[in-house]
């Protein structure tokens, strides 16, 4: 696919006659590829579509590979029948409609519904039925619940906030299998499910609370955004189209924003409590909102007069506080500022190093899972 990307770069991205999809212009995204699956994006106009067709034809001439017209589809926002027909005639693909399934998950333009997720409960039920003729002890069933049934939904849970009713159904199926050996019938539970989901060190069986686990997995998406993950095309797209060099902690989410974006942004308070910035050149860290100072975010400890009295706007970066790789607060003798200036981070600014993100004393893995989602330790 690197060859096709090179062709698209020459014929489309650098071509004034090609118009990017309106949500892809900032990143110049035209194609996304995974294995033998390919997504192409453009504005719905004849000129841009013809250029994409030329790219596919040249790729076919060079590699012998071509798009399967029986499996390929076009998704068009335009309601103009004449335009739609022109695009179909050029590409030779049929017109599709959302939602479709791509890489195992639904591509949707609305909120994730219970109906979209029924495939998860069906998969778990089928697994249990395949074990029906085997005699399994309680310990054996527990191992299957922990290692197999609890992993069926993880891929989806790392992409979407799943409906609570679906997570309850999954818990119900697992609970029946654990106590009864079946996915059906009344549960003869001897211990409350909430107690089972405590860590083994606290008297539970170490199974995960699915809602808490779902939040922890989505927090990884926030980590990619906050750390500006260079290997994530999605993170780059988010920064260029949604954040636009603004502070993510105070970024307002419009009512018209996609449901999935709202769900991710709702987890900001959770992440803010467990992340901090290590200052390099100070160009990616906000003075007032980011947690880079030992006192925490300065907006929480400073009075409202501090930003304005020293000419540091709400969007000021930490680079404004350094001079010759030393800390340099404006008017450090001010009583309120002196306390902050006297407790600056021990490491000095370094113009040759980028700012980096870190977890406090924790890491986003098993040791961090419970405190990250507000788990209350049981005595």
Full pLDDT tens readout for the chain, 379 residues: 789 999 999 989 999 999 999 999 999 999 998 878 899 999 999 999 999 999 999 999 999 999 999 999 999 998 899 999 999 999 999 999 888 888 889 988 788 999 999 999 999 999 999 887 678 899 999 999 999 999 999 999 999 999 999 999 999 999 999 998 888 877 778 899 989 998 888 889 999 999 999 999 999 999 999 999 989 999 999 999 999 999 999 999 999 999 999 999 999 998 888 899 999 999 999 999 999 998 889 888 877 766 666 677 888 899 988 888 888 877 666 677 777 888 888 888 888 899 999 886 544 544 455 555 555 566 5
Residue 231 DSSP symbol: T
Q: Is residue 102 situated within a structural domain?
A: no
Q: Are residues 74 and 192 in the same domain?
A: no
Q: Is the peptide bond before 99 cis (omega within 30 degrees of 0)?
A: yes
Q: What is the pLDDT of residue 133?
A: 66
Is-contact 49 87, C-beta < 8 A?
A: yes
Same domain, residue pair 163 and 65:
no
Asked if residue 377 is part of any domain, the answer here is no
In a domain, 150, yes or no: yes
Provide the residue count of the chain: 379
Handedness of CA 235, 77, 94, 101 (dihedral sign): positive
Q: What are the helix (H) ranges across the chain?
A: 2-8, 46-63, 81-91, 114-130, 138-147, 154-157, 164-180, 193-196, 210-226, 233-238, 259-265, 268-272, 305-309, 335-341, 366-372
Same domain, 189 and 304: no
Identify whether residues 236 and 326 lie together within a single domain.
yes
The model's pTM? 0.86
Question: 273 and 235, same structural domain?
Answer: yes
Residue 200 lies in a domain: yes
Place of tokens 């083994």: 200
Assess whether 274 and 352 both reside in one domain: yes
Domain contains 109:
no
Residues 183 and 79 in one domain: no
Q: Is residue 371 part of a domain?
A: no
Q: Residue 13: which of 57, 51, 53 has the closest Cα?
A: 51
Same domain (yes/no): 8, 51: yes
Residues 6 or more apart in contact with residue 344 via CB below 8 angstroms: 293, 294, 327
Same domain, 93 and 137: no
- Confirm whether 267 is domain-assigned: yes
Give the structural domain span for 143. Answer: 114-208
- The tokens describing 264, both together, are 């991710």
Kindly give, in sequence order, each residue whose CB lies less than 8 Å from that of residue 319, ignoring residues fewer than 6 positions away: 281, 282, 283, 349
Pair (245, 347) in one structural domain: yes
Q: Which residues are paired to 40 by β-bridges?
A: 31
Q: Are residues 257 and 335 in the same domain?
A: yes
Note the pLDDT of residue 369.
55
Q: Which of 79, 106, 118 is nearest to 259 (CA)?
A: 106
- Count structural domains, the chain: 3
- Flag whether 216 is in a domain: no
Helix (H, G, I), strand (E, B) or coil at 207: coil
Strand-strand pairing, 94-95 and 73-74: parallel
**For residue 294, which of 339, 327, 336 has the smallest C-alpha distance?**
339
pLDDT recorded at residue 363:
45
Question: pLDDT value at position 323?
Answer: 84
State the Cα–Cα distance between residues 99 and 105, nearest whole angstrom: 10
Same domain, 73 and 21: yes
């Amino acid at each position: 696919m690197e060859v096709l990307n090179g062709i698209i770069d020459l014929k489309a991205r650098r071509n004034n006659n090609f118009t990017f999809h309106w949500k892809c212009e900032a990143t110049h995204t035209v194609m996304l590829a995974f294995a033998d699956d390919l997504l192409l994006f453009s504005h719905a106009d004849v000129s841009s579509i013809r250029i994409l067709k030329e790219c596919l034809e040249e790729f076919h001439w060079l590699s012998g590979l071509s798009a399967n017209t029986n499996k390929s589809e076009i998704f068009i926002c335009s309601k103009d029948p004449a335009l739609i027909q022109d695009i179909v005639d050029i590409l030779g693909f049929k017109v599709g409609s959302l939602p479709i399934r791509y890489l195992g998950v639904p591509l949707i333009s609305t909120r994730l519904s219970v109906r979209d997720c029924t495939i998860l409960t069906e998969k778990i039920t089928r697994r249990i039925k395949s074990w029906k003729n085997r005699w399994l002890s309680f310990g054996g069933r527990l191992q299957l619940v922990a290692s197999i049934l609890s992993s069926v939904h993880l891929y989806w849970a790392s992409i979407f906030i799943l409906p609570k009713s679906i997570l309850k159904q999954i818990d119900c199926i697992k609970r029946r299998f654990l106590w009864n050996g079946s996915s059906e019938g009344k549960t003869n539970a001897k211990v409350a499910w909430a107690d089972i989901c405590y860590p083994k060190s606290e008297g539970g069986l170490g199974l995960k609370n699915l809602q808490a686990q779902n939040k922890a997995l989505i927090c990884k998406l926030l980590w990619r955004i906050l750390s500006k993950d260079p290997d994530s095309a999605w993170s780059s797209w988010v920064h260029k189209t949604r954040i636009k060099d603004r502070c993510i902690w105070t970024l307002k989410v419009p009512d018209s924003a996609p449901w999935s974006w709202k769900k991710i942004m709702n987890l900001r308070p959770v992440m803010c409590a467990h992340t901090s910035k290590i200052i390099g050149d100070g160009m990616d860290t906000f003075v007032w909102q980011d947690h880079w100072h030992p006192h925490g975010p300065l907006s929480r400890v400073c009075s409202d007069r501090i930003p304005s009295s020293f000419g540091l706007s709400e969007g000021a970066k930490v680079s404004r506080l350094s001079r010759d790789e030393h800390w340099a607060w404006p008017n450090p003798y001010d009583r309120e500022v002196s306390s902050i200036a006297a407790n600056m981070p021990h490491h000095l600014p370094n113009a040759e190093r980028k700012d980096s993100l870190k977890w406090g004393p924790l890491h986003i893995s098993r040791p961090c899972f419970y405190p990250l989602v507000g788990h209350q330790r049981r005595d």
